[in-house]
Structure 1
Amino acid sequence: MARIAGVDLSTASRLLRHHTAGYRPETVERVLRAAAELGYRPNSQARALRLQRQQALAMLVPDLDNFGFTGVLRGVQETCLERGFTLLVSEVRSGPDLPPTDLSILEGRIDGALVAFATVDDPRFEEWLRQLEVPTVFVQRGSPQADASVVLDEERNAALMVEHLASLGHRRIGHVCGSLRTDTGLRRQRGFDDAMAARRLSVRAQWCVDGGFTFDGGHAATLSIMNRAARGRPTALAVDGLVSALGALSALRELGLSVPADVSILSIDEHVVAQQTMPPLTTVKVPQRELGNRAAQMLIDIIEGGVGDQVVIDASPRIVVRESTAPPTGARSRWRD
């Protein structure tokens, strides 16, 4: 194939792996055309043996039910396919009441790991990292242990929820936080608090409850916030994750409250599921796929001899407006903070 394309073997190998920097477009086109004519497909097993690698990455997530990882995984998978890597996905639940996860099963099977289960308070976390003994990139979870990480601007994501609700006229806004055991949850809480303060809106402790990024957590947090006299309730809820928002909707139905007539609700994370709820949920669409792309690219670059960095994705989030948010109605809009 290299002979037909008129290039040496190393050039053909690089171009077939999409390493095209420094090559003329006509050279790239000639190699790809020759490969297509011959039906050439790279032998990943032979390449792995030659490089003494497994050509595989692991993505370690805290909860496979969390819609916040759907787009991230898609972005990681796209990059793995482009760079000739296999992707393994594993759930790693962390917490003082949970049994330790044995990561030794990954030993010898992967060249690097994308770590998305970091918490700020689990003493076993460093032990888990030592078990991996491969390059790691933290994705959607910051950590002091991270030399390489790719995260979103979570303060901006949370602030966008407040901006949308405030623009509709809401002043009494509750917050179903993400897990405050994670850097992501803490940064979203900070973004919510700062956005409320910028609009001179009160942040009430009883209206801000940790929902843990789970359905049950969102359900319990919403009951805690809303299970009080009408004048003591917020007129809107900002929820830090879509799974928690599903729990929040369930709790509101149990309380006999109508969305958005009695309370508006929106969440971070866009997914087709948000279109199917009753009513359909307003969401903050964040650049999940780009996050996954960038994290996987960074990890593979490290494996191939590069260096890591700490990156915050600067692509702007946007509100996807649906029927779950509306201006406050009746006397509620006139209640003072």
Structure 2
Amino acid sequence: MQDQGGSGRATIRDVANAVGVSTATVSKVMNATGRVSAETRKAVLEAARELDFRPNAMARALQSNRSSSVGLLTDDTYGRFSLPLMAGLTEGLIAQGMSVFLCVIDGPKELGATHLDALLQKRVDGLIISGRRVDRLPDIDLTGVTVPTVYALSHGPADGVTLAPDERHGAALAVSHLIEIGRRRIAHVTGPRRFRVAMERAESWRDTLAAEGLWKEGEALHGDWSQGWGHTAAAHLIDGRPASDWPDAVFCGSDQIGLGMIDAFRERGIDVPGQIAVIGFDNWQVLAAQARPPLSSIDMNLPELGREVGRTLTRMIAGESPATGTTRLPCTLVPRASTIGPAG
């Protein structure tokens, strides 16, 4: 380790000496300003981590008129979506010496205004507005707010910067996976029609089947996002019908629906995936991994979405102007035994 001048704490000069660059370059990396090569940036961050270098946040704020903090406002009270997003966001920003304040604003409109005022009084450098539905904006008035703002998993304004999972891509991954394992009669059971994501996933299900010449007349089954609806929908697909009319696979719009579907099939002695394969959406591991058999699912990659939100907001704070509108990030297929059978 480099000499720390007897203070017991690494300085910016120690980091610069360890990497062989100027203190100005280290400052650019830590403050996410200026142009620095990816290789140099990586070396500086690694050296800062090894030396346990912690910039003096107060001094840096006074010098740069920045607080090195951002605020995350969300109406996702359960944390199902906001916490994975927060994990990725924090991971991306902590290397830049930035912290994140999380405020839950599900409640009276005055609550959101109170949290927003508190964040602005702390002179946060930017805001992230996140929700539990991508087709709605949390109930908060941002009139007059001038700090850079990114919308994630919520319906941002047309002239705003919004990041969200690519729902259509995720649905296409699910259906394509079922086709690749030989399934041809693929049903879709999903959430309420009033949810945009439910309609987008249903449209992608139909379009993917049609592109393979497998589309047959019939609509997706819409209910709620619950395990109970999955159980009820399975009965609708199976009961009173000959096995030749059963689907050989079901794409479920959520893991809760998928879990209910698997339970209903098991109660009827139907083998999953031997007779009917089942795939969910969200990759909620506490559910998917514990299903019997474990449930294949589509992961929306929320931590990576959070990291990209952090990168985007950092660039905006530095003065860049990213493209407005919605940027959609790809999903990932996570196959488990409900579609590919047990390992081995």
SS class of match (1:279): coil
Deviation at 1:57, TM superposition (A): 2.4
Deviation at 1:88, TM superposition (A): 3.5
Change (3 A) 1:10 1:152: same
* Residue number in structure 1 paired with 2:30: 16
Of the three residues 289, 299, 306, the one matched with 1:292 is 306
Q: Is the 8 A contact 1:137 1:295 kept in 2?
A: yes
Q: Distance in 2 between matches of 1:259 and 1:31?
A: 48
Residue type of the partner of 1:103? G
Aligned length: 312
Q: Does 1:166 align with 2:175?
A: no
Q: Is the 8 A contact 2:184 2:214 kept in 1?
A: no
Q: Is the 8 A contact 1:114 1:296 kept in 2?
A: no
Deviation at 1:165, TM superposition (A): 1.9
Task: Single out whichever of 126-135 and 48-57 deviates more from structure 2.
Answer: 126-135
Q: Does 1:275 align with 2:289?
A: yes
Change (3 A) 1:218 1:312: farther
Matching of residues 1-337 of structure 1 within 5 Å: 1=11, 5=16, 10-17=24-31, 19=33, 21-22=35-36, 40-50=53-63, 51-53=65-67, 55-58=69-72, 60=74, 62=76, 64=78, 66=80, 71-91=84-104, 102-107=111-116, 108-109=118-119, 110=124, 111-118=126-133, 120=135, 125=137, 127-130=139-142, 133=145, 135-145=148-158, 147-178=160-191, 180-198=193-211, 199-202=213-216, 204-205=218-219, 207-212=220-225, 217-227=226-236, 228-231=239-242, 233-252=246-265, 257-270=270-283, 272-273=285-286, 274-309=288-323, 310=325, 312-313=327-328, 315=330, 317-325=331-339
TM-score by length of 2: 0.71
**Runs of at least 5 residues in structure 1 that lack an aligned partner in the other structure:** 328-337
Q: Is the 8 A contact 1:282 1:321 kept in 2?
A: yes
Write out per-residue CA displacement over residues 206-251 of structure 1, whole angstroms, 9 at most, x where no aligned residue: x421434xxxx34225413533423465332212233443344445
Q: Is the 8 A contact 1:61 1:89 kept in 2?
A: no
**Runs of at least 5 residues in structure 2 that lack an aligned partner in the other structure:** 1-10
TM-score by length of 1: 0.72
Change (3 A) 1:302 1:282: same
Residue type of the partner of 1:280? P
Q: Percent identity?
A: 22
SS class of match (2:175): helix
Residue type of the partner of 2:199? L
Q: Is the 8 A contact 1:55 1:85 kept in 2?
A: yes
Deviation at 1:258, TM superposition (A): 4.5
Deviation at 1:147, TM superposition (A): 1.7
Q: Is the 8 A contact 1:220 1:251 kept in 2?
A: no
Q: Distance in 2 between matches of 1:249 and 1:153?
A: 26
SS class of match (1:21): coil
Deviation at 1:277, TM superposition (A): 1.9
Q: Is the 8 A contact 2:76 2:82 kept in 1?
A: no
Q: Is the 8 A contact 1:20 1:28 kept in 2?
A: no
Q: Is the 8 A contact 2:89 2:309 kept in 1?
A: yes
Residue type of the partner of 2:289? Q
